[in-house]
Amino acid sequence: MTVRKEVEEAEKRIRSHIRETPVEHSPYLSKLGNCEVFLKLENTQFSGSFKLRGAMNKLLSLSREEIAQGVVTASSGNHGAAFAYVLKKFHWKGCVYLPETASKAKVETLRLYDTEVRFYGDDCVKSEMFAKAEAEKTGQVFISPYNDLKIIGGQGTVAVELARQLHSMDAVLVPVGGGGLASGMGGYFKSFDSGPKIIGCQPQNSDVMFRSIKAGRILDMPSKPTLSDGTAGGIEKGAITFDICREVVDDFILVSEDEIKDAIRLIVEKHGLLIEGSAALSVASFIKERKRFKNQCVVLILSGAKISVDQLKKVLG
């Protein structure tokens, strides 16, 4: 009930500041899977991804004194862009730490918001730990990309919208990195008796949440390069999303880099939509396991739009 309460409070707090993203039926994927498939277009959200929901909710929940001290975050890109979008909108000051491996497209977008950007480490967890330490030194508030109930509550507003937009859902396929989106959506839906199954989608090259849940503890393990840079990297030790995901995610599907590429290409060709690698996880996962969804109503979360021109050229080939 805690997650549902946070989601409902976030819905009231941020509704006037975010876009209710469309749900689009996919005739091609529906026919492919002999079911009904809908795409939740979080790639059309302000700042380019669902991350705006959590960042907006957390920042709007802070006191004037906390905001005046300045705020700090760390992100592989989309959370940073969302954080910077909110700061620019309300004329607040803050700093974003990025791993040195952050995608060029996301860094360029981030700089458009005139927020200070600093780089540290080759992994999002390293950037987070460093940013958190810096915030403690200066007395500033650190805004976690996922390890915060206010962030989770904000991301969960995707589920509130879906409940308004679709009368019935059997399964929702959700990209998973740190687990904020899956925690928020799963925590909200699972608070009702008839909620849909929550299927976590991860790249085989960076399946830390899946392997951690399987092991029963958060693993410190390396990630290989992946097109799904928005979900890549480790999970912060003690992250609250781990226990929530363990409770609310019904199953995981892991996909290869080729499957991610094919999914991006398919969405461009069949729907004329631009999506990033992490957004393609849900599409690739559905295609891979489509037989299990026969005769069901399935929602695929297209989590973000930021893909570099170079990456897109390679994918479209």
Is it the case that residue 175 has pLDDT exceeding 80? Answer: yes
Q: What is the pLDDT of residue 99?
A: 85
Q: How confident is the model at residue 1 (pLDDT cuts 50, 70, 90)?
A: low
The average pLDDT across 79-98 equals: 94
Tokens representing 179?
């687990």
Query: 222 vs 8, which has greater pLDDT?
Result: 8
Ordered structural domains, the chain, with CATH:
2-49+150-316 (3.40.50.1100), 52-146 (3.40.50.1100)
Is it the case that residue 190 has pLDDT exceeding 80? Answer: yes
Is it the case that residue 20 has pLDDT exceeding 80? Answer: yes
Q: What is the pLDDT of residue 158?
A: 98
- Residue 306 CB burial class (10 angstroms; 0-12, 13-18, ≥19): buried
Is it the case that residue 7 has pLDDT exceeding 80? Answer: yes
Residues 88, 85: Cα–Cα separation, whole Å? 5
Q: Report the SS3 class of residue 37.
A: strand
The average pLDDT across 271-300 equals: 98
Of the given ranges (30-44, 81-95, 122-136, 160-174), which has the lowest mean pLDDT? Answer: 122-136
pLDDT tens, residue by residue, 109-151 = 788 888 899 999 887 778 888 999 999 999 999 999 999 999 9
Average pLDDT, the chain: 94
The average pLDDT across 267-280 equals: 97
Give every strand in the sheet of 23-25, ordered side by side: 23-25, 36-41, 297-302, 171-175, 197-203, 251-255
Residues 94, 70: Cα–Cα separation, whole Å? 5
First and final C-alpha spacing in the chain: 47
Is it the case that residue 11 has pLDDT exceeding 70? Answer: yes
The average pLDDT across 259-266 equals: 98
